Each structure stands twice: as structure tokens, then as C-alpha cells.
Amino acid sequence: MTLDQDSYKLITMVWLVLALLGFIVLKTVNLRPLAWFLVLVLAVFGCFVTWFHRVPDRNVVADPSAVTSVADGKVVIVQKAYEGEYLQRECIQVSVYMNFFDVHANFWPVDGEITYYKYHPGHYFLAFQPKASEKNEHSSTCIKSGKGEVFFKQIAGTFARRIVCYSTVGENEKKGQQCGIIKFGSRIDMFLPLDCDIKVKVGDKVRACESVIAVL
């Protein structure tokens, strides 16, 4: 397991602020058990922030026809939907909601070439609400494999205030490599061809790289 490459500065800043707060607490709180308890709480929070930005090692599904999950979390939507931003056609939408304790690093779902990327500023509604897909801050990416196109959105939630996406149009990417991270609560919408074989249902728990969402 490693840490997200974009998050080292944030993690360092958090620990510096927590160290300063801990120093202030130890200097100003006369009741020593209380002071050390507060320092412990600060340290636990720092550990959580560090752990949150983890990028785990995963066993990637090798089948080139298999579309793996972009994110860890719970499947909240499986439905037919019109994708009007880039594909301009009916698709099968599969949405995965990430809570605070899920891995928030995201991973390429197939091998292929990045054919589209766009960042959209927006609101911060609860990520599991349907309107979050269009109204919230999000990044959109399309990756084209030899078996078909997969379009997905990284969607910010109420507490997620930064989306990091490593998409570059024209680049070729490998399934299971990190494609970004969404910080503090979020959702992924995946749009798949109508003729694919969907392998998940609403309520399923999925893991990025290892859970097959569909077979193209």
C-alpha cells in the first residue's frame, strides 16, 4: 500500500497543524490527563487523514472484456440512462457510492486510450442523490478499449471538495492503475454499452480492480 501522489502536501500540512495544536494544548491545559487525551484525539485524526489517502495494492482482473469497478463502495444505481455529455447515446449506468471509510483512490476500469476528459465545477449535494451526477463538481473521462468505450464520472459529495483526475486525452492506460482520487465522500457513475453483460446489482459491495462490473 502507498499514499496518493497528489496528497503528500495535504497530509504534511495536516500533521503540522495538528502538531501546533497539540503543543498549544500541552501548554495551556493544566489538567494533564485531559491534555494528553486531546493530543491523542489529534493524533488519531492525523492517522485517519493519512489512512484516507491510501492507494492499496490489488489483484487486477486480467480478462480484457471485463470492466472492473473504478472505486470501492456500494452499488446504488443500475439502470438504463442517456449519456449526453460525450457518448450521446443510451447506456447502462452503474453508480458506486463511497463512504468515509472506503478507499477513495480510483482506478482505470479497462485497458485503453483516453478519448475524452473534462472537469466540471459545481455544487456539493449528498453524493448518493440522483441530482449529484449533474449538479455536483465532477470530472468526466472516456476510455476506449478494444472491446468498447467506458465513460465514467468522479463526483464530489457534500464533504468532498477536491477531485483529482489523471486523465490525459491521447494517453494509453492500463486497467488497475490509479486514475485519480476523490477526497472525503463521493460517487462514481459508470456508463457502459447497452449490449454488455452487467455483473452487479443495487446493494452489492464492490472493490476497485477486483470486482467485475460488466463484461463487454
pTM: 0.86
CATH code: domain 66-215 is 2.70.70
Per-residue pLDDT of the chain (216 residues; tens, 9 = 90+): 788 888 888 899 999 999 999 999 999 999 999 999 999 999 999 999 899 889 999 999 999 999 999 999 999 999 999 999 999 999 999 999 988 889 989 999 999 999 999 998 866 555 555 555 666 788 999 999 999 999 999 988 655 557 889 999 999 999 999 999 987 668 899 999 999 999 999 999 999 999 999 999
Is residue 167 annotated as a catalytic residue, yes or no?
no
Q: What is the DSSP string of the chain?
A: -EE-TT-HHHHHHHHHHHHHHHHHHHHH---HHHHHHHHHHHHHHHHHHHHHTEE--------TTEEE-SSSEEEEEEEEEEETTTT-EEEEEEEEEE-TTS--EEE-SSSEEEEEEEEE--B---TTSTTHHHHB-EEEEEEEETTEEEEEEEEE-SS---EEE---TT-EE-TTSEEEEE-SSEEEEEEE-TTSEE---TT-EE-TTTSEEEE-
Per the residue annotation, which of 69, 95, 133, 186 is the catalytic one?
186
CB 106 within 8 A of CB 186: no
